[in-house]
C-alpha cells in the first residue's frame, strides 16, 4: 500500500497456491499426488467439456474426492483432524 505495507490480495499457503507433496511418497521424475483442484480439472478434461460456459455439474464422487484431498492436505499440514477444528469453530462437516 502507500505506506509500504505488504498486503495479501489473494491467497497464501493454500493447496491451490502452493505445492504440498507428502515427503514419504516423493519420487523424483514421477507425478506427485495432488491436493489441489487438479482433480476437478482432470475430470473436466476427461468429461469432454469444451470449456464453453456453463461448466457441467460435478458428479457427487468428484465433489467427495476433491473434499477428501483438501481435508487430507489440512490434516497433513496441521497434524490434526479437520473434525477437531470444525468442532472448535462450532461448525458441522458437510
Per-residue model confidence as pLDDT tens digits over 34-78: 888 889 999 999 999 999 999 999 999 999 999 999 899 899 889
Whether 71 is covered by a domain: the verdict is: yes
* pLDDT value for 50: 93
Structural domain including 30 reads 23-89
Provide the 3-class DSSP secondary structure of residue 47: coil
Q: How many domains does the chain have?
A: 1
CA 87/CA 91 separation, integer angstroms: 6
Whether 6 is covered by a domain: the verdict is: no
Whether 62 is covered by a domain: the verdict is: yes
Rg (CA), the chain: 17
Q: Mean pLDDT score of the chain, rounded to an integer?
A: 87
Whether 4 is covered by a domain: the verdict is: no
Whether 64 is covered by a domain: the verdict is: yes
What's the pTM? 0.72
Whether 32 is covered by a domain: the verdict is: yes
Amino acid at each position: 500500500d502507500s505506506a509500504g505495507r505488504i498486503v495479501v490480495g489473494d491467497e497464501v499457503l493454500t493447496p491451490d497456491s502452493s505445492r504440498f507433496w507428502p515427503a514419504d511418497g516423493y519420487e523424483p521424475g514421477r507425478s506427485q499426488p495432488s491436493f489441489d483442484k487438479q482433480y476437478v480439472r482432470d475430470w473436466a478434461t476427461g468429461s469432454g467439456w469444451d470449456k464453453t460456459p456453463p461448466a457441467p455439474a460435478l458428479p457427487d464422487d468428484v465433489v467427495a474426492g476433491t473434499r477428501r484431498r483438501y481435508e487430507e492436505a489440512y490434516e497433513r499440514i496441521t497434524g490434526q483432524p479437520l473434525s477437531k477444528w470444525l468442532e472448535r469453530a462450532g461448525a458441522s462437516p458437510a
